[in-house]
Structure formats: C-alpha cells, structure tokens
C-alpha cells in the first residue's frame, strides 16, 4: 500500500471513530433527558432563549398581521399628509394676518369707511366734509355746478 492510501484510510478511520463517539454521546444525552439513565441526577424545569422555527401556519398568521399593518401605515401616512396640508393652510393664513398687521403698525393707519357729514354752504360757495367721530374737516372745496343743484 502506498503512503497516501494509508493516510487516507487512517483519516477515514479517525473520522468514523469521531462520528461513532458523537452518536454515543447523543444517545447518552437522550437517555438522560428522557429519564432512562440511572445517573440522571436532579431535574428541574428551566427556560432558555433558543431559536424557534415557525410553522407554516404561524408564518401565514405573521404575514396577515404584516399586511394589515402595512395597510394601517399607509392609511396613517395619508392621514398625516392631509393633516399637514390643513396645518400648512392655517399657518399661511396666520402668516397673512401677521403681514397685514405688520403693515398697519408700520404705516400707522389704514383706509376705512368713516361716517361723515357734508355741508354745502351756498353763502360761501364751498362744500365742507367733516368726520363725525373726530369732527376733523376732511374736505373743503369750492362748489361745482352739480353741487349748486338743489335736491328734491
């Protein structure tokens, strides 16, 4: 026999012995676990955090739950976009009011419809208009031909 063949057979024999030892150890462990071994010792129940393979039924249930939650997430996303749109509109409205107020404060006035009294003084030939809230004269001009016409 050649040296290489002997090495391969030795290696194969070592592998077989290791496999046999693993099988024997597994068999003994099974006996201990099942309570058939005389030296089983004290037993107690415990919990270990170990890998668990899901069944097809569990995978189906998880898939259905995931699909429901994807749908819920999409619904919430759409609702959020709608709400954001509403808040953006409210924000723009507030910004417009702020801008309008800032302009009024800056200029110190605005134009409004103010109650006034207009007097046509035929003796002097003038039309005089004054505010009724402050009595300030806001118009003082000569009468036009239309102003000189009497109202019926």
pLDDT 10s digit of each residue in the chain, 152 long? 555 555 565 557 677 767 777 777 767 766 666 666 555 567 788 888 999 999 999 999 999 999 999 999 999 999 999 999 999 999 999 999 999 999 999 999 999 999 999 999 989 999 999 999 999 999 999 999 988 887 76
Buried b (16+ CB within 10 A) or exposed e, 24-37: eeeeeeeeeeeeee
What's the confidence (pLDDT) of residue 103? 96
> Using CA atoms, how far apart are residues 73 and 103, in angstroms rounded to an integer?
44
What's the confidence (pLDDT) of residue 102? 97
Residue with tokens 């996303």: 77
Model pTM greater than 0.85? Answer: no
User: Torsion over CA of 133, 134, 136 and 138, rounded to 10 degrees?
Assistant: -40
For the chain, domain boundaries: 1-38, 54-111, 116-148
What's the confidence (pLDDT) of residue 72? 97
């Amino acid at each position: 026999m050649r040296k290489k063949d002997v090495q391969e057979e030795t290696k194969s024999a070592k592998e077989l012995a290791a496999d046999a030892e693993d099988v024997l150890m597994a068999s003994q462990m099974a006996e201990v676990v099942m309570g058939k071994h005389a030296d089983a010792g004290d037993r107690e129940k415990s919990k270990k955090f170990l890998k668990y393979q899901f069944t097809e039924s569990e995978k189906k249930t998880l898939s259905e739950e995931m699909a429901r939650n994807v749908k819920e997430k999409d619904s919430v996303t759409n609702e959020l976009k709608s709400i954001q749109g509403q808040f953006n509109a409210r924000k723009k409205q507030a910004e417009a009011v702020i801008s309008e107020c800032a302009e009024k404060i800056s200029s110190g006035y605005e134009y409004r419809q103010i109650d006034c009294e207009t007097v046509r003084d035929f003796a002097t030939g003038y039309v005089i208009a004054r505010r009724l809230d402050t009595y300030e004269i806001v118009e003082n001009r000569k009468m036009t031909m239309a102003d000189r016409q009497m109202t019926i």
